[in-house]
Structure 1
Amino acid sequence: MKKWFTIFAVILMGILVYALSFFDTFSGSGQKEKGDTVKDSEQIQLTFWRNGGNVAENKAYEELVASFEAANPNILVNMKSIPYSDYEIRLRTELAAGNPPDILTIDSPTLGLYANTGSLLSIDPFMRKEGKIDDIPDSTLKGLSYKGQIYLAPIVESSIALYYNRHLLKAAGIPDPPTNPNNPLTWDEVLEIAKKVNNPAKGVIGIDPAQGFNDGESPAYFKTPLLWQFGANVLSPDGTTASSFLDSKEAIDALRFYQNLYHKYGVASIEIPGGAFEEGKLAMTVLGSWTLTDLEKNHPEFKLGEDFGVTPLPKGKYQFVPNGGWALGITSKSKHPQEAWKFIKYVTGYQGVKKYVTITGDIPARYSVAKDFPELNEYPKNIFVQQSQKYSKNRPVTPAYPVVSDAIRRLFEDVGIGGKDVKVAAKEAVEKINTGLKEIK
């Protein structure tokens, strides 16, 4: 009897297990066990293109994609990292061919070029409803907007400051400059310091005011703030002309001051040897927030506080620093805009930005994240953070920005390298930009 009871119990248990599994299968109420995966046919696949970054940036994105996919098993993000030098060309080619990715990164100054052609989806409704834009500085949002619509979401910001060699300043009897982000030196004060430390006989250069003379976007990023600080702008508020702005009295004053550093006072040099700052041959130089990590990694013998210091970017009549960087957007041809936004919301939200900043050490675009990192609220990183939040300004958002950027580069080369009459150089830059604006129309 006991034997039959046992057999009956086993059969009954089997029927019960089968019934439960049958109910789960067809009712849809069953939950997936650990280790279960969503079938390929059930997954939404997003393509994500971004510019190739350094090791830390690549790692940050890889971890963000992995954690997003773990939290959203029905969405697969196919991320492609493209070298910086090839990125713009490949992206524009695919956009023109009608085969763009769902999500992409864009260097914010070039936003107007993509938004004007209809290549980007406005994420304004998403950002205003779910993007917590009160947590992002207005100056940052302005640089991510075109014609009143937000098109990009930021992860991190950027800023620049004046780095100085402590030994060279001390030898000239000059105390360390201020560290308060709200109390920078004026350019006139910096000029006086540069005169005292400049020593051609020993090969010592007083200052590199704006990262020398490079190609690409660097000249516009580092040099445009000087125009703002003297009260000038590159374009009119409506972005239709450079006339009476880039050639205004304020712009001429800024350009003449810059030119005088090279040709009148001789405290700046057109050619600066590599490693001049670290080797004690350059007293002051304007560098980015990212340089702190580079110096620590590549020049550990050149120590912050001992060998060099950081002071806020000097001001003219006004205090301004540049902002802008790579931000995320959705292409207008994406078949999955809701899912694409879900990914962007995750990456650029509090947790995503915090993870990214933890890995890269960059300046977060969100106030809330900056507050949570003690080192970002202490010298010297607090200088970059507070400048970014309080005194930053975006480069012009215009479809003609590539022309604007090139015109700025050539303008500063003409007055800095060539010593060209500043009024003539400014007039030529204005004509070039206005021609570009007309061609866009």
Structure 2
Amino acid sequence: MKKMSKWLVPLSMSAALLAACGGNESGGESLDENNANNAGNNQSNNGESNGEQSDVVETGEADQGVEATGDESVQLDMWIHQTGEEETDFYIKRIDEFNEAHEDIFVNVEIIIDDGGSSYSDSINAALVAGNLPDILALDGPYVASFAESDIIRSIDEYISVEDLEDFVDSIIQQGSYDGELYSLGAMEASIPLYYNKDIFEEEGIEAPTTIEDAWTWDEFLTVAQDLTTEDRYGLNLFMNYGVGEWLTFMGGPFVWSNNGELISEDGSTSDGYLNSPETVESLEFIKTLFEEGVVSLTPGEMQFEEGNAAMALGGPWIAVSAENADMNWGMMPYPYKEVPKSPSGSMAYGITTLSEHPEEAFQMMHWMTNEESTIGLSEVTGMPPVRESAFNAMDKYDELPWSVMRDQVLETAHARPQTPAYPVLTDAFAQAFHAAALGEDVEETLNQQVERVERELRRFQD
């Protein structure tokens, strides 16, 4: 049996990233105006608990229209995290439809209020200690390994079909796998294109690339950013106002990956020689240059890009919402690269807990919430890209610019964040190093210091 210290969910994971989602978590909140304007306010608290417990709101059986009769042979409990109202309503609707379609299975769902801090993982830890975890729970994609290593969720290899595996985009399978087994399925994907102000580009005579093949290299990217920077306008917005948290790993990781670097070894045993590799150092030196050249601000306003005070922005799908609401003339370009095109990936997912007495029925529910119909509907509600190729094929929106850029990134260049039970420390280490580079600090020295932190954490899982 694993040590109890390994069983508890790291406190930082519940606030992981609204960057991959536009809401409160890194996996896909509603992209309403409020979420778009507050993106980043609920970033990772770097593992510090705020001491608050989450409230639990019961839905389904109590007040959602489909009531259990008591005759169902299997009743399942499911937890989902709080999201924007429209997204939450979509989840409840799909769960009600599942209950209507399955006479022998009934799902009771609870919405766990997420305060952007540690409340969701506090609830999971409390349920784990008490032995009353639900059958199915929502989790943030980068933390699958933490849940799997802690024996909170179980492998689903025996339930998923080859047809399904082939339909899910590669990054979702990569995100959901740990130690050679598949543990979760994503509910939605996420990506970060390079947004640009079309009016400014036209004024400056700059042509934006629209395909992966034509994506800008770092040198081209820097040159354009410099050319677009004026006394009253930045060339680029990296949304540093989101704070030092998961956003910096989600947005910044591809700089390393596109330079043929990694944050941790493939077997997950060490970060030494990876997080502080020459490739990672060079990547963060490039970030340092962006700030030294004055093309990007450490303290951008909430609507810097939308107000025309930045010509370009590396942001998630929620920026399209805020840009549209601001009535600006905007477009998308592929993520810039050094050696090979890479783009951000990762979002909310579902896992079946090890305490479930009905894993096969629980998988039916997981499959329902991630099938083609669900992923199309969720994409329409949230603006996040879908997780299935069949969904992309069914949605005309992604056949044309600007959304074809996001589709191509999900299908061709998406790279999942590394799956390691030490991820909460690893992501904070990278975020701290990214921020240090932005501040102009010594990149190599900072990375070596952060590697020491990660190596200490990794030893916990090697005893």
The 2-side partners of 1:38 and 1:240 are apart by 47
2:375 match: secondary structure = helix
Q: Which amino acid aligns with 1:61?
A: Y
Q: Any residues of structure 2 matched to 1:226-305 within 5 Å, and which?
A: 226-263=255-292, 265-296=293-324, 298-299=325-326, 301-302=327-328
Contact 1:220–1:409 (Cα < 8 Å) also in 2: yes
User: Per-residue deviation at 1:330?
Assistant: 0.4
User: In structure 2, how many angstroms separate the alpha carbons of the residues matched to 1:87 and 1:38?
Assistant: 26
- Residue 164 (1) aligns with residue 196 (2): yes
Determine if contact 1:213/1:413 at 8 Å carries over to the other structure: no
Higher mean C-alpha deviation, range 82-91 or range 314-323 = 82-91
Report the alpha carbon displacement of residue 139 of structure 1 after superposing the two structures with TM.
2.7
Specify the code of the residue in structure 2 equivalent to 1:425: T
**2:218 is aligned with 1:218:** no
What is the match of residue 189 of structure 1? 220
Change (3 A) 1:247 1:399: same
Is the 2:240–2:297 contact (alpha carbons within 8 Å) kept by the matching residues of 1?
Answer: no
**1:439 is aligned to 2:460:** yes
CA–CA distance in 1 between the matches of 2:72 and 2:342?
50
What is the correspondence of 1:231-380 to structure 2 with a 5 Å cutoff?
231-263=260-292, 265-296=293-324, 298-299=325-326, 301-302=327-328, 307-380=329-402
* Superposition map of 1:43-122 within 5 A: 43-84=73-114, 85=116, 86-122=119-155
Give how far 1:123 is off: 0.7
Counterpart of 1:179 in structure 2 is 210
CA contact (8 A) 1:174 1:193 kept: no
Contact kept, 8 Å, 1:211 with 1:287, in 2: the verdict is no
Change (3 A) 1:382 1:206: same
Contact 2:81–2:120 (CA<8 Å) still a contact in 1?
Answer: yes
Partner Cα distance (2:368, 2:152) in 1: 23
Structure 1 residue 379 displacement after superposition:
0.9
SS where residue 160 of structure 2 aligns?
A: helix
Aligned twin of 1:420? 441
- In the superposition, relative to structure 1, how do residues 191 and 127 fare at CA in structure 2: closer, same or farther (>3 Å)? same
The separation in 1 between residues aligned to 2:410 and 2:423, in whole angstroms, is 22
- Give the counterpart of 2:170 among 121, 133, 138: 138
Shift of 1:357: 2.8
Does the 8 A contact of 2:345 with 2:410 survive in 1? yes
What whole-Å deviation, never above 9, does each CA across 1:300-332 have from its counterpart, x for those lacking one? x22xxxx22211111111110111111111000
How far off is 1:147 after superposition? 0.7
SS in 1 for 2:333: strand
Contact 1:49 1:104 in 2 (8 A): yes
CA contact (8 A) 2:192 2:343 kept: yes
For the pair 1:389 / 2:419, whether they are aligned, the reply is no
Partners of 2:342 and 2:189 lie apart in 1 by: 15
Q: Quick one: distance in 2 between partners of 1:357 and 1:325?
A: 12
How far apart are residue 38 of structure 1 and its match? 7.0
Gaps of at least 5 residues in structure 2 are 1-65
- Give 1:101 deviation, angstroms: 0.8
Query: Does the residue aligned with 2:276 lie in a helix, a strand or coil?
Result: coil
2:189 maps to a residue whose letter is E
Two-structure CA RMSD over aligned residues (Å): 1.9
The 1:212–1:319 alpha-carbon spacing in structure 2 relative to 1, beyond 3 Å, is farther
2:234 equivalent to 1:205: yes
Q: Counterpart of 2:166 in 1: which secondary structure?
A: helix
- AA at the equivalent of 2:195: Y
TM-score normalised to the size of structure 1? 0.85
How far is 1:385 from its partner? 1.3
Superposed displacement of residue 213, structure 1: 5.4
Tell me which residue corresponds to 2:39.
none
Q: What percentage of residue pairs aligned between the two structures are identical?
A: 30
Q: CA deviation at 1:212?
A: 5.0
Residues 347 and 37 of structure 1, relative CA distance in 2, 3 Å threshold: closer
Conserved 8 A contact 2:244-2:432 = no
Counterpart secondary structure, 1:339: helix
8 A contact 1:289–1:381 mirrored in 2 = no
CA shift in 2, pair 1:196/1:83, >3 Å: same
Unaligned runs of 5+ in 1: 1-35
Residues 393-408 of structure 1 mapped to structure 2, 5 A cutoff: 393-408=415-430
Larger gyration radius, structure 1 or structure 2: 1
Find the aligned partners of 1:161 and 1:355 in 2 and give their Cα distance.
22
Q: What is the TM-score with the length of structure 2 in the denominator?
A: 0.81
Distance of aligned partners of 1:55 and 1:213 in 2 relative to their CA distance in 1, 3 Å threshold: closer
Q: 1:83 to 1:186 in 2, by over 3 A?
A: farther
Q: 1:239 to 1:176 in 2, by over 3 A?
A: same
